[in-house]
Amino acid sequence: MPQIFHRSTNTISRVSIFGGAFFILASLWVLAEINRSSYVTQAFVARQQPVQFSHKHHVGDDGIDCRYCHTSVEESAFAGIPPTKTCMNCHAQIFASSPYLEPVRESWRTGRPIEWVRVHDLPDFVYFNHSIHVKKGVGCSTCHGRVDLMPLTWQVASLQMEWCLGCHREPERFIRPKEKVFEMVWPPANYNQLEVGRRLVNEYKLQDRSVLTSCSTCHR
Amino acid sequence: MNIKDTYPELHALRSRLEANQGKEYWRSLEELAETAEFREMLHREFPDRAAEWPGPDDVAGRRRFLQLMGASLALAGLTGCTVQPTETIAPYTRPPEGIIPGKPLFFATAMPLGGVGEGLLVESNMGRPTKVEGNPDHPASLGATDVYAQASVLTLYDPDRSKTLTYLGDISTWGAFIAEVQTALSGQRGNQGAGLRFLTETITSPTLAAQLQGLLNEFPQAAWHQYEPAGRDNVRVGAQLAFGQEVNTVYRFEQAEVILSLDADFLSCGPGSLRYARDFAAKRRVTEGKTEMNRLYVVESTPSGTGAKADHRWPMRAGEIEGFARAVAAGLGVQLGGQAAQPSGPAGQWVPALVRDLQQHRGRSLVMAGDYQPPVVHALAHAMNQALGNVGSTVVYTDPLEARPASAGTGAVNQLESLRTLVNEMNAGQVEMLLILDGNPVFDAPADFNFTEALKKVKWRAHLSLYNDETSLICQWHIPEAHYLEAWSDVRAYDGTVSIIQPLIAPLYRGKSSHEALAAFTAQPERTGYDIVRDYWRGRLGAGAGGQVPGTGPKPTTPSSAGPSDPFEQAWRTALRSGVVPNTALPPKSITLKSDWVSEVGKTTSGSQMEIVFRPDPTIYDGRFANNGWLQELPKPLTKLTWGNAALVSPATAVKLGLLSQGDDRLDVEAKIETRLYEVNGRVVELQYQGRTVRAPLWVMPGQADDSITVHLGHDRWRAGRVGTGQGFNAYRLRSSNTPWFGQGLEVRLTSDRIELATTQRHHTLEGRKIVQAAVIDEYQKKPDFVREEVETPPKEHTLYPEYQYPGYKWGMAIDMNACVGCNACVVACQAENNIPVVGKEQVLRGREMHWLRIDTYYKGALENPETHFQPMLCQHCENAPCELVCPVNATVHDAEGLNVQVYNRCVGTRYCSNNCPYKVRRFNFLLYQDFETESLKLLRNPEVSVRSRGVMEKCTYCVQRIQRAKIEAEKEDRPVRDGEIVTACQAACPAEAIVFGNLNDAASRVAKLKAEPRNYGVLADLNTRPRTTYLAALRNPNPEIESKPGPETRHG
């Protein structure tokens, strides 16, 4: 009886079995990477806003403190988006007739709020609290990046759970002295983060890692 | 009637139940009957099929199933790849003072019900009232709330509320209404308002009373009528009978050691019930070395929460309670003029013992008559309290709470007579203008008044109400009313304390308050409720302006007016902030019994015919809450019925009426009597009373008095809204003015129809295990740790899993079953706090109700008068949780502080966890129960809790959002969480303080102390689940004279 299959079939089948497994793994990896990419996470995508507000100008050039506008960052879960009143505190005097600021003045006249596009948008089942992070030495720029360099604002982190857990598992790699929380440029040169971080974790009585990584810490 | 001779089978059942010497508890007749259906249901974690294709698609076969499963598997991965839609943030333009975005604010206000106020603190999230809590500074609440207050936020956002002012069904305006009122009034001026009438509910609001009085001064011939379908006429007339004047009675349960309740359900309903439950439970709390407790005797016709707590409870027809009261009164030495007869039955034989017990506690006893007992019984109760020297200690009299027109003379306000007068005048054509403030008389007026026909004879009629309801339909004008969370007003509590009702939100639909509707009849028709209420108090609050509140007796101390501002303004702000107007509690009043009160006592009305008893519904009250889904779906205490009502009959009466299916082919004639009794539930009968008929399903109620059928009012409304319309049967159709609460001569005709009744009593049954522990106080005193014998707790190392340490916080809960009065407040509080959906009757019938917390009722002993226990059952947060081991996707896991957490996003809906949960406390979203569409309901949700969608499991979280809030606040201050800082929603609502939550690692915490009590036990602890929620065994304090009957079958506990 003649051979039905050519000898090369052995090789082809080996290659296709290996290739199949490789293809599946590769597709899973590609999917995972797509899921982490800024196409999905929207990281590094500058959002268009109703007003061309520039953090670069207000923070970088003018040196306004974060808390001047985000007033509730130290006491509430929500850092606070400034009411039109806060804009008008200055812009009733400066650039009072700039066409860029017409939406602000319109809001002030009509009482209709400016609808800002959310940049950092966590899913609804995540209950993030700004105040406790600020209190425990997580700096603004640790999560939000160098907003003093951003003309339009974008997010610099994926805001995915693995990113949150990175810090909740090893807070010593990220936390800084409380008084430096609002500094934009951090860490300074020749700074030993791990050494200071370990000291601060004790000093600030951070919860145990098992508590910080419990589901109930962030999800309710 | 001797049951033994008449109904031998029933007697046999009783003997069997009584012979169960051990701790044999049962929950429903069905459980006793052990029907095949019931056994089948027990073996599934949810009673009905999991698949949900109602209708003909139900036959979807294997292929369809595989297709769907294949498709869902293929598509499952894609759900993770969604990009969040762009969201916007709209900040304030000018920020209001005091609001920190993301932080809730609490405002003190009060909820009026039946005219009487309950002090509240309402949580406001960015201007939306979302959750009601009790006001700890308010004497009627002390921090607790009832089901009505908890559910009132849902009514506020009810999409069926009336949104527009209508005239003859067409949309009109407030301005048009005012214009027409003013025109019509000018016609009334000539005859001093002879054709002008106002109909209100019970009014205690000082401002509203002043407004009405002002109108009556302006129109001396006009009249103000009050009618409340579940009113307290009997209380008022009874006081009138005994004292010759109207008084308000305040009871002090904190002083009472022996209590006799004559059909009074003081723990569950009526003014002051929250406070009474608190004080009653405090006297029953056997903790921290205290070994004494109060003793409660109850005679009642239909089982109530109060009856369930009784140490001695005797079922008795409502009409026989007067005879019983006479016998007790005679025994106590009250002069009755020889009318006292010895009542028969089991209660009668114990009268001497009861009398002795009361007399041994002179000044520390209390006799209370129920609101629905006739005035005579109230007069008798007053006389008994007088004879026992209780006045001044456990019973305090004050001026009446209710406002009434000064022109009404000295006669007590009898609302039924008031309405009768109005109806007669309407029929006679004397009424030209009628303004109905609140209330729904077309639906709930006595049937013999023919209120609708009379109302149609009034030329000009207007109705102010929250809903465009039955009465609105008959009136030309309908004015949408502002909810109490939307309007300014004031109200008195059970002891007279005034609270200012302050709104939490501007009226959603431009509703008007009663104050504003009445202002339309004055020269300043556009005055706002805020101005009206403030102007009334301007002369009465603060220093300088007299400060005298009518009826408050001694002048309140003048507040030291530090600061430059107006003293009124200061006092006003203080009153708003604290939720009570200081020094407005009515002072005690010394009054004496009339010398001739006995002669006015009528003859007893007892007879041997079938009796009908009317009661307001325990959840939807008189029908006003019919469109509230939370209350409709709330299992009623004891019957656990949802979505509708039933006529309650006793087992013996069911037998007597021939309801048992003797010759029915469906049933084996040899079937056990409990099976056949169970078959009675849902049988439709025709109830005929005084020539009027309704068809009603029956419910066999253990503990119901024989020959007495109880029906609950408020159901089967025809214009309630999408939730409440057509649920149950309308008992108002049988209720006439001569028998407002009970009467003789009911005829029952059997039909062959059945209605399915949605009861949750049989759901989640814990198959005959040692769930409930109870003892009598003597046993407890001899052997405080009696539960140890009953509950075997395996040693810790009896598990394959490594021991886990909880070094930080270790959360736990203790529930004192001795305190729980089964009032359901915790269930609704949990529903409001945790965004729990309503599922509807059809889904409840399938056992899919979503309540995270349920109150299980356990009975013990004979059907006629079983011992009853309540057990709130919620997730036990087991340390060795069986649910966690079977989850294939790790969706239910333990956190580091011992909470058993459910991760909604991981859950794929296998329901293995629920299957493996021995406590049956997990709830599955079989369908999309949440309403994500209706705009107004979005405002209702608690922003701190995820809103669950279809296909996920959920359960009690120990209010993890409150734990985290407290932990974060504590950590910000660099301190540990203090004991009592975290209060779960159920704990906060509980009037009896039965639920305590806290940190078990803190030995000084209240919960740790309770867990150290000898009565503490874990339910099903023998499974080594190590539940974090444990229970304190119930105790009874029976009178040894009564309990010491020889024979083992009377031994309780």
Residue ranges of domains in chain B? 97-246+401-553+564-592, 248-398, 611-759, 774-1040
> What's the rounded Cα separation, in Å, for the pair A137 and A193?
13
Please name which of B982, B824, B989, B996 lies closest in space to residue B132, comparing C-alpha atoms: B989
Q: In angstroms, what separates the C-alpha of A73 from chain B's closest C-alpha?
A: 10
Decide if A142 contacts A162 (C-beta within 8 A). no
Q: Which of residues 202-261 of B touch A (CB under 8 A)?
A: none
- Reduce the DSSP state of residue B357 to 3 states and report it: helix
Instruction: Name chain B contacts of A127, Cβ cutoff 8 Å.
Output: 944, 961, 964
pLDDT at residue B615, as a whole number: 94
> What's the rounded Cα separation, in Å, for the pair B240 and B417?
15
CB A113 to CB B92 under 8 A?
yes
Any B CB within 8 A of A116 CB: yes
Q: How many C-beta neighbours within 10 Å does residue B940 have? A: 19
Q: In angstroms, what separates the C-alpha of A132 from chain B's closest C-alpha?
A: 6
* CATH superfamily of the B248-398 domain: Dimethylsulfoxide Reductase, domain 2 (3.40.228.10)
Three-state DSSP string of B823-892: CCHHHHHHHHHCCCCCCCHHHHHCCCCCCCCEEEEEEECCCCCCEEEEEEECCCCCCCCHHHHHCCCCCE
Decide if A42 contacts B66 (C-beta within 8 A). no
Closest residue to B102, CB basis, from A78, A84, A215: A78
Instruction: Tell how far CA B351 is from the center of its chain.
Output: 31
Closest residue to B901, CB basis, from A125, A129, A215: A215
Decide if A58 contacts A68 (C-beta within 8 A). no
Instruction: Name chain A contacts of B905, Cβ cutoff 8 Å.
Output: 125, 219
CB B92 to CB A205 under 8 A?
no
Per-residue tokens: B577:
């902030």
Closest residue to B896, CB basis, from A132, A205, A210: A210
Q: In angstroms, what separates the C-alpha of A190 from chain B's closest C-alpha?
A: 30
CB A85 to CB B92 under 8 A?
yes
Decide if B996 contacts B836 (C-beta within 8 A). no
Q: Where are the beta strands (DSSP E) in A27-139?
A: 116-117
Q: In angstroms, what separates the C-alpha of A60 from chain B's closest C-alpha?
A: 24
Q: Which of residues 966-1005 of B touch A (CB under 8 A)?
A: 968, 971-972, 974
> What's the rounded Cα separation, in Å, for the pair B1029 and B679?
36
CB A116 to CB B88 under 8 A?
yes
Q: In angstroms, what separates the C-alpha of B944 from chain A's closest C-alpha?
A: 7
pLDDT at residue A115, as a whole number: 94
What is the chain A residue with the closest CA to B85?
Answer: A121
pLDDT at residue B1046, as a whole number: 39
Q: In angstroms, what separates the C-alpha of B303 from chain A's closest C-alpha?
A: 39
Any B CB within 8 A of A109 CB: no
Please name which of B393, B392, B395 lies closest in space to residue B381, comparing C-alpha atoms: B395
Q: In angstroms, what separates the C-alpha of A26 from chain B's closest C-alpha?
A: 16
Q: Which CATH architecture has domain B97-246+401-553+564-592?
A: 3-Layer(aba) Sandwich (3.40)
Question: Backbone phi, then psi, for B329, in 5-degree steps?
Answer: -60, -45
Three-state DSSP string of B483-503: CCCCCCEEEECCCCCEEEECC
Decide if B490 contacts B112 (C-beta within 8 A). no
pLDDT at residue B1052, as a whole number: 39
Structural element, H or E, at residue B38: helix B36-42
pLDDT at residue B767, as a whole number: 62
Decide if B303 contacts B264 (C-beta within 8 A). no
Instruction: Name chain A contacts of B944, Cβ cutoff 8 Å.
Output: 127, 220
Q: Where are the beta strands (DSSP E) in B874-1027?
A: 892-894, 900-902, 923-924, 953-954, 995-999, 1016-1017
Closest residue to B103, CB basis, from A76, A208, A211: A76
Instruction: Tell how far CA B402 is from the center of its chain.
Output: 22
CA angle, corner B220, sides to B219 and B226, nearest 5? 90
Please name which of A204, A146, A197 lies closest in space to residue A176, comparing C-alpha atoms: A197
CB A220 to CB B961 under 8 A?
yes
What is the biggest distance separating any 2 CA atoms in chain A, rounded to whole angstroms?
A: 99
> What's the rounded Cα separation, in Å, for the pair A115 and B96?
18
> What's the rounded Cα separation, in Å, for the pair B978 and B857?
34
Instruction: Name chain A contacts of B968, Cβ cutoff 8 Å.
Output: 129, 131-132
> What's the rounded Cα separation, in Å, for the pair B1031 and B1044?
28
Give the pLDDT band (50/70/90) at residue A201: very high
List pLDDT tens digits, range B279-322: 999 999 988 878 889 999 999 999 999 999 999 999 999 988 98
Closest residue to B972, CB basis, from A80, A121, A132: A132
- Reduce the DSSP state of residue B629 to 3 states and report it: helix
Q: Which of residues 72-91 of A touch B (CB under 8 A)?
A: 72, 75-78, 80-85
CA angle, corner A214, sides to A213 and A220, nearest 5? 125
Closest residue to A131, CB basis, from B88, B893, B972: B972
CB A116 to CB B91 under 8 A?
yes
CB B94 to CB A85 under 8 A?
yes
Q: In angstroms, what separates the C-alpha of B903 from chain A's closest C-alpha?
A: 7
Closest residue to A220, CB basis, from B90, B946, B971: B946
pLDDT at residue B602, as a whole number: 53
Three-state DSSP string of B299-337: EECCCCHHHHHCCEEEECCHHHHHHHHHHHHHHCCCCCC
CA angle, corner B579, sides to B574 and B585, nearest 5? 95
What is the chain B residue with the closest CA to A32?
Answer: B81
Closest residue to B81, CB basis, from A40, A131, A219: A40
Topology classification of domain B774-1040: Alpha-Beta Plaits (3.30.70)
Instruction: Tell how far CA A98 is from the center of its chain.
Output: 31
**Residue B69 Cα distances to B65, B75, B484, angstroms:** 6, 10, 50
Per-residue tokens: A13:
């089948």
CB A75 to CB B89 under 8 A?
no
- In the 8-state DSSP scheme, what is residue B978? P
pLDDT at residue B344, as a whole number: 63
Any B CB within 8 A of A112 CB: yes
* Mean pLDDT, chain A, whole residue set: 92
Instruction: Name chain B contacts of A136, Cβ cutoff 8 Å.
Output: 971
CA angle, corner A204, sides to A199 and A208, nearest 5? 90
Q: Which residues of chain B have pLDDT under 50?
A: 1-3, 21-23, 48-56, 58, 407, 409-411, 544-563, 663-670, 1045-1053
**Residue A111 Cα distances to A99, A103, A107, B93, B1030, angstroms:** 19, 11, 5, 6, 54
Question: Backbone phi, then psi, for B658, in 5-degree steps?
Answer: 75, 30
Instruction: Tell how far CA B228 is from the center of its chain.
Output: 18
Q: In angstroms, what separates the C-alpha of A152 from chain B's closest C-alpha?
A: 16
Q: In angstroms, what separates the C-alpha of B848 from chain A's closest C-alpha?
A: 22
pLDDT at residue B94, as a whole number: 92
**Residue B943 Cα distances to A125, B40, B936, angstroms:** 10, 40, 14
CB B905 to CB A125 under 8 A?
yes
List pLDDT tens digits, range B581-627: 998 999 998 888 887 777 655 555 556 789 999 999 999 999 999 99
Q: Which CATH architecture has domain B611-759?
A: Beta Barrel (2.40)
Contacts of B63 (CB under 8 A, 6+ apart): none
Instruction: Name chain A contacts of B90, Cβ cutoff 8 Å.
Output: 113-116
CB B808 to CB A208 under 8 A?
yes
* Mean pLDDT, chain B, whole residue set: 86
Any B CB within 8 A of A187 CB: no
CB B944 to CB A220 under 8 A?
yes
Mutation target among A131, A216, A217, A218 for the B interface, most CBs of B within 10 A: A216
What is the chain B residue with the closest CA to A136?
Answer: B972
**Residue A179 Cα distances to A130, A137, B1046, B1049, angstroms:** 16, 8, 79, 75
Please name which of B131, B98, B137 lies closest in space to residue B119, comparing C-alpha atoms: B137
> What's the rounded Cα separation, in Å, for the pair A121 and A143?
13
CB A31 to CB B77 under 8 A?
yes
pLDDT at residue B66, as a whole number: 75
pLDDT at residue B606, as a whole number: 55
List pLDDT tens digits, range A65-101: 999 999 999 999 999 999 999 999 999 999 999 999 9
Q: How many CB pairs under 8 A join A and B?
A: 136
Bridge partner list, B492: B116, B498
Question: Backbone phi, then psi, for B436, in 5-degree steps?
Answer: -105, 115
Any A CB within 8 A of B105 CB: no
pLDDT at residue B860, as a whole number: 87
> What's the rounded Cα separation, in Å, for the pair B996 and B998?
7
Model pTM score: 0.90
Three-state DSSP string of B506-525: CCCCCCECHHHHHHCCCCCC
Exposed/middle/buried for residue B964 (C-beta within 10 Å: 0-12, 13-18, 19+)? buried
Per-residue tokens: B110:
């009060």
Instruction: Tell how far CA B842 is from the center of its chain.
Output: 23
Mean local confidence (pLDDT), A4-25:
92
Contacts of A112 (CB under 8 A, 6+ apart): A106, B93
Q: In angstroms, what separates the C-alpha of B760 from chain A's closest C-alpha?
A: 27
Which amino acid appears at position B654 of this protein? Answer: A
Q: Which of residues 806-845 of B touch A (CB under 8 A)?
A: 807-808
- In the 8-state DSSP scheme, what is residue B260? E
What is the chain B residue with the closest CA to A39?
Answer: B83
